[in-house]
Amino acid sequence: MKSLVRAWALAAGLVAFLLVCAPLNAQESGTVKERFGELCATCHGEDGGGDGPSAKVFNIKPRNFTDCASMAKISDATLFTAIHDGGAAVGVNSAMPRWREALDDQQIKALVAYVRSLCKR
C-alpha cells in the first residue's frame, strides 16, 4: 500500500509539472500569487498551510508556510534551491518537482518572497 501511495504521489507531482511547465514563461506567468496557485497550491494549499488537495497522499507532508517558527529556521537560499532543483535537493519530499525549466531566477526569488509573506506573525 505504501508503494502505491508513493507512486501516486510521484505521478501527481509529475502531472502537475508537465501541465504547467510548458506554458509558463516570463511573459505568460502572471502574478506571483497566480504562479503559487498554479505550481504550489495543489500540495501546499492556497494559503500555504501544507493542506492542499494532494497533501493527503504524501508520507511526508508538504511544508506549512504559515508556521512562522518552522519557517524562521529555513533560509531563503534553501527555499530557492527547493523551488529551483526540487525537494530532494534540500532533503525534503522528493515528490516536489523542480521548477527551473518553468521559472527563471527572478520568478523563483519572487516565489520565495511570496512564501515568506504567508507567515504572518
pLDDT digits (tens, 9 = 90+) for 84-100: 999 999 999 899 999 99
pLDDT digits (tens, 9 = 90+) for 21-75: 434 443 444 799 999 999 999 999 999 999 999 999 988 899 999 999 999 999 9
C-beta separation of 33 from 110 below 8 A: no
Q: Report the pLDDT value the prediction gives residue 59, as an integer from 0 to 100.
A: 87
SS3 57: helix
Answer whether 109's CB lies under 8 Å from 80's CB: yes
- pTM of this structure: 0.75
DSSP alpha helices (H): ranges in the chain? 2-21, 32-39, 41-44, 68-71, 76-85, 105-117
Residue 49's pLDDT is: 96
Q: Domain map of the chain by residue range?
A: 2-117
